[in-house]
Structure 1
């Protein structure tokens, strides 16, 4: 039976399972596993309002299939609220089933609810599947600005 996908904001009750998904996401990016630290980090971000986490699951079923983490921020040039889609992750067993798409749409709705006029995201140059999803939803590759990082 193909059950419909649903999305919602994560709650405190989701944290144990969500920490496992975030830990898997970190391992995907070749970072060490540390579920207790991930859970503490997530609790702090959500409690402070620094992040909102959309989760997806099949209607009537408990298992979380993935998440989208949205961080409110500002664009001083536009003098407006913006949002960073900081992380998107779909469990390997739920990929290619529309989970990423519904999470992206939920993230956009959440950004709109927080008053954002624009969303940003970044992804690896080699992550072509995700890039295809983003572009199918109207996201545009920025060819004007270059993104830099400084680890301090």
Structure 2
């Protein structure tokens, strides 16, 4: 499958939102196209993330990734958090995921980020192999923790 990686445009948002809803379902979330559309639209409109898309030669989107600007306090440097990476099942093993990750790396370099961080499910072995093949190193020193705030059912805030 021939794909082209590029920055997302306003016209891509409905297709990205559909992929984002599938991505959320991959991580055991109920389908919610309205929430997915609102979330993607808000991130794009507010300039809160960088969205890259894999454009299939046939015209549709084969996948996307989303980078969130953040900081590493220890390094005192800006970083990207690669939070979302999704390739449609029909395009998996086509190189689209690899291309998205390479484009994300190039974007991080261009934007002066010192590194990119990501997390993935322990059971997502295919993704782990892909990350390792591109030079990502697994953190075996630090543990990740989360704390729910009780607002999980609140729709994403705008602005």
User: Do the structures match in fold with TM over 0.5?
Assistant: yes
In the TM superposition, 1:71-110 aligns within 5 A as 71-110=68-107
Tell me the secondary structure at the aligned position of residue 30 of structure 1: coil
**Residue in structure 1 matched with residue 27 of structure 2 by the alignment:** 29
C-alpha separation in 2, matches of 1:131 and 1:72: 22
TM-score normalised by L of structure 2: 0.90
1:132 aligned to 2:156?
no
Deviating above 3 A after TM superposition, structure 1's stretches of 4 or more consecutive aligned residues are none
1:19 aligned to 2:17?
yes
Give the C-alpha shift of residue 57 in structure 1.
Answer: 1.7
Report how many aligned residue pairs link the two structures.
149
Give the C-alpha shift of residue 38 in structure 1.
Answer: 1.0
**Residue in structure 1 matched with residue 59 of structure 2 by the alignment:** 62
In structure 1, the gaps of 5 or more residues are none
TM-score normalised by L of structure 1: 0.94
**Residue in structure 2 matched with residue 150 of structure 1 by the alignment:** 147
C-alpha separation in 1, matches of 2:90 and 2:46: 32
In structure 2, the gaps of 5 or more residues are 150-159
Give the C-alpha shift of residue 46 in structure 1.
Answer: 1.5
